[in-house]
Chain A
Amino acid sequence: MLRTMTLNKAIGYAVLAMICIASLLPIWMAFKTAITFPSDVFASADRLWLDRLTFGNFPRVLGLPSSVEPPANSGQPINFMIALRNSVIYTGLLVTGQLFFSSLAAYAFARLRFPGRDTLFYMIIAATMIPSIVLFIPNFVLVRQLGLLNTFAGMVAPSILMLPFAVFFLRQFFLTTPKELEEAARLDGLNWFQVYWHIALPLQRGPMATLAILLSIQAWNDFFWPFLVGQGESVQVMAVALANFQSQAGQGQPDWTGLMAAVMLSIIPVLFLLIFFGRRIVESLQTSGMK
């Protein structure tokens, strides 16, 4: 009995280790490319390690003095600090709004009764099924008519109020939790909003934290819409700056080492958020509500 347990465990850990390697290997390759001299990039593409390495690509994509000459196919340096600021504002604004509005709607769909509830919910799920190719032109025209081009408001508008994914996800979790607590709170005279805010939401700490992290990563990588609406330097997010750096001409290679250096720099903030905030979110949710 004990023996099989440890054997099972050993197999489990081996599988986990393999999955970790598979996850990280391409990211390692990206990092390795970032510390490669531009002239070595293809010669060393089939190796895990380098004969010679440099950290000069990082300052050079930021337009700082660097020991590495930018290759001829390199784009203009990325204005990293501004792009970083814009990405933080965009992501923060969007995810906060999405979590609040989507959880409100999800709670209503799971717990409240009103005519047309299920029809509306199915419409929200159906909204994920329309190819975005036909959505973005009318949305762009609308945002322009509202005078929101080159503003954060215009960039977050289409998905801040309603993200089908988030509504659907949270509704499933609200449904799976027993509702005795909420009913008791209603009997104690709490109104619906108080029940949602103080009772139901704190019970969904884990799912909310997961959702917050996934939505943040998604928002951080959002590209096409922010690119269309926010081209001005003052609102240009990291993903857009990266894309412009990457595709410089109709033909020819991107500046691989510079691009990967920029990518590595751009995921550091998200990693920080994951490891640091991931814990903080869970903790703060644990202490909020339940009063």
Chain B
Amino acid sequence: MKLTMLALLTGTALVPVAASAQDTVQYWMWDGQQAPVYQQCAAAFEAVNPDIRIEITQNGWDQYWTALTTAMISGDAPDVFVNHVTRLPEMSANQVITDLAPLIAEASYDTSGYLPGLLDNWSRDGAVYGLPKDWATVALGVDTEKLQAAGLSMEDLADLSWNPEDGGSFQQVIARLTVDSNGVHGDQDGFDGNSVETFGLVINPLSPGGETEWSYLAASTGWQFIDAPWATEYRFDDPRLAATLGWLRDLGRKHHFMPMQEQTGKLGAETLMFSDKGAMTVVGSWLIGQYNQTKPSIAFAPVPAGPKGRKSMFNGLADSIWTGSDVPDASWKWVQFLGSDECQSIVAEAGVVFPAQADQVDKTVAAYEARGIDVSAFTAVATPETTFAFPITDYGNEIDAIIRAAFDRVMLGDGDPAEILQQANDEVNSLF
């Protein structure tokens, strides 16, 4: 005790340290749920590399990027940080993140274990700017109690079809699940659209990427954001997209099977699901745990198949190294470890996200199963044929602002979708 006090006062460590100075690698992330998981990875890493210390900092998403930018300007940024694909164009163009391709070659690091497509998302002109950590797909989240009350079962949802004209069997199920205050279902006579108690489908206000709101539908018509990664031209003016968004708009404004844009608060679709206002929604796989814990009656079914089959966006985070790092070697070691089976299996067993390494996915599925969650609807669409990538181009954030406002207008019924999208698309393409 006295010794400790003395040590504290004099600032000396009681434990003799090795003569060589330790390298400290600063690691930033925004996801608080995953921080403890990666703390375990860090412990495992430090056990193998006693000369390197990992310091993990977690900042909420809202401040993460501002803090990161400020830190980079002042030369104080973290050596390694979790990166988001929307930030990649800018960061790679301005060379603030290290090209890992030469390091990968030099270390003969095996990238064949990643799920197909994940590494491509983080590559540009042969350079690699991050090693994938995880991936996400989307599926329908259905409140099974409401499903039974509507006389349906999970089997009925296993193979839904959709098209932008009449909505296919997907729209029929949505209608069936909608109930007004008199207990009349959306597909019955006498349904009152102005007093809906439970909406058949609830979605977030449309985001430009549309991961959980519209892109799975639009892509199932054969539509694509862009023709190839890093394109300089967007396809928001495609009639198939206008038709898809028109269908979504009418689902709310005309049929009242879905809340209208102005009824969807900022609290999001999950809020409506948890407060019994919604019977079905589209869930991103990063929210599986939250849904299951808040409302165990919610189960997952595959998204409907459109004219060109079933589609889901396929997106993932990666670890990037800051070019200004003064411990590049230690940072690279850490990034390799994060992508290795050892750390990925820790991540997998935690059952928080799907790990990027293909042979670890089963562990995650098992971890979810142990909690009684069937996640096959998410894993089934994680194939090259059934997925499409988030559109990666320059000016991502400007495009985001333009398209968000345009989508707001479409969903508010403020004009013809085709015209609004044409105008927005011209504005987007004029950026390049």
Chain A residues near B (Cβ < 8 Å): 38-39, 41-43, 45, 69, 71-76, 136-137, 140-141, 144, 149, 224, 227-228, 231, 243-253
Contacts and interface: CB of A to CB of B under 8 A. Distances in A.
B289 A72 contact: yes
A154 to B, nearest CB: 12
Shortest 10 CB-CB contacts between residues of A and residues of B: A247-B60, A42-B275, A75-B32, A72-B289, A248-B32, A72-B293, A72-B290, A247-B62, A42-B274, A250-B61
Contacts of B36: 76
A45 B293 CA distance: 19
Interface in B246-300: 267-268, 270-272, 274-276, 284, 286-287, 289-290, 292-295
Interface of B: 30-33, 35-36, 57-63, 67, 70, 73-76, 84, 267-268, 270-272, 274-276, 284, 286-287, 289-290, 292-295
A51 B32 CA distance: 31
A74 B290 CA distance: 9
Nearest to A229: B70
A69 B275 CA distance: 19
Contacts of A144: 74-76
Contact of A244 (B59, B270, B289, B293): B59
Contact of B35 (A76, A137, A251): A76
Nearest to B212: A251
Contacts of B286: 249, 251-252
A75 B61 CA distance: 12
Given A231-B67, A253-B290, 12 more contacts: A39-B274, A71-B293, A72-B290, A136-B70, A140-B74, A141-B73, A244-B59, A245-B60, A247-B62, A248-B32, A248-B33, A253-B267
Contacts of A244: 32, 58-60
Contacts of B267: 42, 253
Contacts of B293: 69, 71-72
A247 B61 contact: yes
Contact of A252 (B58, B62, B70, B270): B270
Contacts of A137: 70, 73
Nearest to A244: B60
B74 A141 contact: yes
A253 B31 contact: no
Contact of B60 (A69, A71, A149, A248): A248
B250 to A, nearest CB: 26
A228 B63 CA distance: 9
A interface SS class? loop
A41 B272 CA distance: 11
A244 B29 CA distance: 11
Given A41-B274, A228-B67, A246 B35 contact: no
Contacts of A245: 32, 60
Nearest to A227: B63
A144 B275 CA distance: 47
A72 B294 contact: yes
Contacts of B74: 140-141, 144
Contact of B61 (A39, A42, A136, A249): A249
B388 to A, nearest CB: 19
Contacts of A75: 32-33, 58
Nearest to A43: B275
A35 B255 CA distance: 38
A231 B57 contact: yes
Contacts of A247: 30, 60-63
A76 B271 contact: no
Contact of A249 (B33, B272, B274): B33
A37 to B, nearest CB: 10
16 contacts: A72-B292, A72-B293, A72-B294, A73-B33, A73-B289, A74-B33, A76-B32, A144-B76, A228-B70, A244-B58, A249-B32, A250-B61, A251-B268, A251-B284, A251-B287, A253-B271
A71 B290 contact: yes
A3 to B, nearest CB: 49
B292 A227 contact: no
Contacts of A72: 33, 289-290, 292-294
Contact of A42 (B63, B73, B271, B290): B271
Contacts of A45: 275
A135 B60 CA distance: 23
A112 to B, nearest CB: 39
Contacts of B276: 43
A41 B274 CA distance: 8
A75 to B, nearest CB: 4
